Amino acid sequence: MRIALVGNQNCGKTTLFNALTGSNQRVGNFPGVTVDGKVGKIKTKDNVDLIDLPGIYSLTPYSNEEIVTRDYIIKEKPDVVLNIIDATNIERNLYLTMQLLELGVPLVIALNMMDEVTNSGNSIDIDLLKEKLGVDVLPIVASKNQGVDDLIKRTIYVGENKILPSHIDVCEKNSPVHRAIHAVMHLVEDHCEKYHLPKRYVATQLIQRDHSLEKEIALSENEVELLEHIIKEMENDNGYDSEISIAMMRYNYIDKITLKTVHKKNELTKEHVRSVKIDKILTNKYLAFPLFILIIAFIFFITFGLVNNYLSSYLGDALDSLIEVIRRGMTSSSFNPVLVSLICDGILTGVFSVLSFLPTVVVLFFFLSLLEDTGYMARVAFIMDKPLRKIGLTGRSFVPLLIGFGCSVPAVMSTRTSTSERDKKLTLMLIPFVPCSAKLPIFTALVGAFFKLDVLIILGLYLLSICLGVLVGFISKLIIKTKPSPFMMELPNYRLPTLKNTGLLIWEKAKDFIKKAFTVIFLCSLIIWFLNSFDFKFNYVDGTTITLENSMLSKISSLLVPLFKPIGITDWRYCAALISGLSAKEALVSTLSVLYGSIDLALSGVTTGQLVAFLVFVLLYMPCFATFAVLRKELKSTPLAICYMLGQTLFAYLVSVMFYGISLLC
C-alpha cells in the first residue's frame, strides 16, 4: 500500500512522516524543506509505504513542487491520500483539500497542531467537519505523537477498502460556475476515460485555462473553441475572470463549513500573538537588517573565533600526536617504509587534516538549525526580498542561497521551488558565490596558520564572495530584461526548536562529514600519495635516488603551473590541491597536508599576496563534481551546466589575478 502525504508548507508533514516511519528526514520551520518526494516504511505496519510530497498551496501547477505533487497523485495513483491540515489556519489549508476532493481519490484528513487550537481556547467540531467534507477527519499533534496511531489505522482502512469522498460537488447549484463545470465535464468525459483522469478536476483546471492539461488530454480544435465559449459565458454571467470564479467557489464553500465547525474564542492563537510581537522588532523596517547582520556576526565569532581556535585546534593537535605514535610504533616494529608512508603520510594525514575541523562544521550547522527551526529563516527571506530585487531575484531565492552555506548540492536542488525558469537559472548562477561548509576546513587551516586576525579574514572572504555574487547578479539583471516573478511566502509562527530535531541535524551533518572524510577524502589522499610517491615507471620516490619532482603527480600538476603563475602559484603541489578539490573541497586541505607533511610547511615561503590570491580562487572556482551532477539534472542540459562551471572558474581566475596584481603593486 502507498499513502501519499499532502499538505501546505509548514503544516507538519515531515514531522508526521518521521513519527510514522522513524525516518530522519530534515524538519524545518520554513517553506521549501521538502523539494522532492521521500518514501519511508511505516514502523508498525508491513508493506505500507508513506510518500512525503512537497508542501503546496494548490494543485494548480504554477511551480515545480506543485507539478511533482499533482503528477504523483494523478499518474502514480496512490492507494490513499493523507491530507495534513494546520488546524490553526484551517480556512487557508482547506483550499487544497477542495482540490483533493475533486480528484475523487480515497482521502483522509489529519488536523495537526490541535494543541495550539485548544491552548488558545478555540475548538473545532470534528464530527460536523467530517460530515460536511464527506471524508474522515482526525485530530493529531504530530510533534508530540498524539493521535498518530489512530490516524494511520484509519488511513490504511480507507486505502484497503477504497472509500471515496461521499460528495465532491462544492459549487452552488445553478450558479454560472456550476453550469460551466458540468458543461466542461460533459465535454471532456471521453478524454478523461481514455487518459484515466478525474473529470471534475480536469474541468476546473481547464476552466482556469490550464493549457498544458489541454494538450495532455488532446482536445480537438472544435472542443477548444467550445471550451473557450463556455468559459467566456461563465465570466460574463459571474462578473469575474475564470480563476477568480473558481477560487471564489471554493472559498465560499470553505466559509460555510468553517462558520459552523470552527469556534473561535480568540481569533489568534497564543503562538501567533507572540510571533506578531517578536516580528515588530525582527522585521522592523529599520532594525531588521542590522539585527540580521549582528546575528550572523555573532555566529561567525562563536564558530570561527572560539570553536575553531580552541576545539578544532586541540583536536588537530591530538590527531597529529596520534599519527606520530602510530608512525613510531610501525617504525620500531620494522614495517616496510613504503607502508609506513602510505598509512601515516598518505591516509592518516589526509583524513585527520579534515577531521580536525569537525567541531567547527557542527557548531555552524547548530546555529543554522536554530535559525531555521525557530522560523526566523523565513523572516530573513522576507527581509532580503527588497535587496535581492535589486539584482533581479526575489526573497524566495534567498532560501537556496542560504542552504548553500551548508552544501551546494541541496541548494541547487531547492531551486525547484522557483516559480519561473528565469529566477531558477539566475539563482543557480549565484549559488557558487555562497561559500559551502566544505570550504571551512580550507579557510580555517590556511588563514589560521598564516594570519593573526583569522576571524576577520574569514569574514572578509565570505563578504567578498557575497559582494561579487551581488555584482554578477546586477550585471545579469541588466542583460536579462524580464522582471522577477512575484514573491509570496508564509511566515510561520515562531516555535522553540525541539531537542530531537536539533540533535538530529547535528548528528546527520557530523555523520556526513565523517563519512566523507573516510570515503572521498580517504580515496583522494590515497590517490595523491600514490601519484606523489611513484614515477611513471613505478619507482618509489624516496627523496634521494629519485627526486620528488619526478613523481607522476609532479609531472601532471607542473603542466598547470604556467597557467596559475598570474595568481602567484609557482609550486605544482598547490595545482595538485586545486585538482583534488574538484572531488570534494575538503580534499584540498588533505592534499596539501599529504604533499607537504603539514599545513605549516605548505605555507612556508608563501607571501601574503600569493595566499590571498589562492584563497580567492578557492573561494570562487567551480564547485565539486557532485554539484555539477545535480546542476546538470536541474538545468536539463550538460553543455549549459559545463558553461556554468567554466564561467565560474574563469571569473575566479580573473578576480584572483586582480588581487595578486594589487598585492605586487602594494
In this structure, what CATH number is given to the domain that contains residue 42? 3.40.50.300
Regarding whether 154 and 194 lie in a shared domain, the answer is no
Q: Is 649 within a domain?
A: no
What's the pLDDT at 327?
86
Is 208 found in the same domain as 61? no
Q: Which of 262, 285, 317 is the last residue of a domain?
A: 262
- The answer to whether the beta carbons of residues 594 and 528 sit under 8 Å apart is yes
Same domain, 34 and 153: yes
Tell me which range, 16-30, 37-51, 361-375, 606-620, is most confidently predicted by mean pLDDT.
Answer: 606-620
Cα dihedral angle (51, 54, 57, 60), rounded to 10 degrees? -90
Report the pLDDT value the prediction gives residue 445, as an integer from 0 to 100. 84
Burial label for 605, CB within 10 Å (0-12, 13-18, 19+), is exposed
DSSP letter assigned to residue 540: B
Contacts of 616 (CB under 8 A, 6+ apart): 461, 464, 652, 655, 656, 659
Of residues 377, 381, 447, 434, the one with CA closest to residue 407: 434
- Which pLDDT band, with edges at 50, 70 and 90, does 37 fall under? low
Burial class (CB in 10 A: 0-12, 13-18, 19+), 123: middle
Is residue 536 predicted with pLDDT exceeding 90?
Answer: no
Tell me the pLDDT tens digit for each residue of 303-323: 777 776 678 778 878 888 898
pLDDT of residue 542: 63
Which is higher by pLDDT, 436 or 618? 618
Residue 417: predicted pLDDT: 65
**Shared domain check, 134 and 37:** yes
Q: What number of other Cβ atoms are within 10 A of residue 284's Cβ? A: 13
Burial label, 403 (beta-carbon count in 10 A; 0-12, 13-18, 19+): buried
Q: Considering the domain boundaries, does residue 493 fall inside one? A: no
Q: For a pLDDT cut of 90, what percent of the chain falls above it?
A: 24
| Element holding 402 (H helix, E strand) | helix 398-403
Per residue in 560-585, pLDDT (tens digit) is: 899 999 999 888 889 988 988 887 78
Whether the CA torsion 455, 361, 403, 297 is positive or negative: it is: negative
Q: Which residues contact 201 (CB under 8 A, 6 or more apart)?
A: 59, 74, 99, 102, 103, 104
Of 122-131, 492-501, 533-542, highest mean pLDDT: 122-131
Secondary structure percentages of the chain, helix, strand, coil, to 5? 65, 5, 25
**Last residue of one domain, picked from the residues 262, 287, 304:** 262
Please indicate, yes or no, whether residues 256 and 135 belong to a single structural domain of this protein. no
162 — pLDDT class (breaks 50, 70, 90): very high
Integer Cα distance of 510 and 518 in angstroms = 12
What gap in Å lies between CA 654 and CA 539, rounded to an integer? 39
Percent over 70 (pLDDT), the chain: 94
Residue 204 has pLDDT above 50, yes or no: yes
The answer to the question of residue 258 being in a domain is yes
Q: Which of 231, 262, 293 is the last residue of a domain?
A: 262
Using DSSP's 3-state secondary structure scheme, residue 311 falls into helix
Residue spans of beta strands (DSSP E) within 251-359: 262-263
Q: Are residues 102 and 212 in the same domain?
A: no
Please tell me the total count of domains within the chain. 2
117 and 210 belong to one structural domain: no
pLDDT at position 381, please?
A: 81
Q: Which three cell numbers stand for residue 33?
A: 524543506
Domain-located, residue 27: yes
Same domain, 237 and 116: no
Q: Which domain holds residue 138?
A: 2-160
Q: Residue 201 class from Cβ within 10 Å (0-12 exposed, 13-18 middle, 19+ buried)?
A: buried
Could you identify the residue written with the cell 562563536? 302
Q: How far apart are CA 182 and CA 189, in angstroms?
A: 10
- State pLDDT tens for residues 393-440: 887 788 788 778 777 877 787 787 676 778 888 888 888 888 887 787
Query: Which residue has 551546494 as its cell numbers?
Result: 408
Q: What is the pLDDT of residue 649?
A: 92
pTM for the full predicted model: 0.69
Query: What is the domain-level CATH number for residue 180?
Result: 1.10.287.1770
pLDDT score, position 61: 62
Tell whether 9 is covered by a domain. Answer: yes
In terms of domains, do 34 and 130 share one? yes
8 Å CB contact between 109 and 261: no
Same-domain check for residues 44 and 143: yes
Average pLDDT over residues 18-43: 65
Same domain, 128 and 194: no
One-character DSSP codes across 342-361? IIIIIIIHHHHHHHTTHHHH
Residue 211 lies in a domain: yes
Asked if residue 166 is part of any domain, the answer here is no
Inter-residue contact 349 to 590 (CB < 8 Å): yes
In a domain, 169, yes or no: no
The whole-angstrom separation of Cα 511 and Cα 509 is 5
What's the whole-number average pLDDT of the chain? 84
Among 625, 634, 630, 628, CA closest to 585: 625
Q: Are residues 213 and 143 in the same domain?
A: no
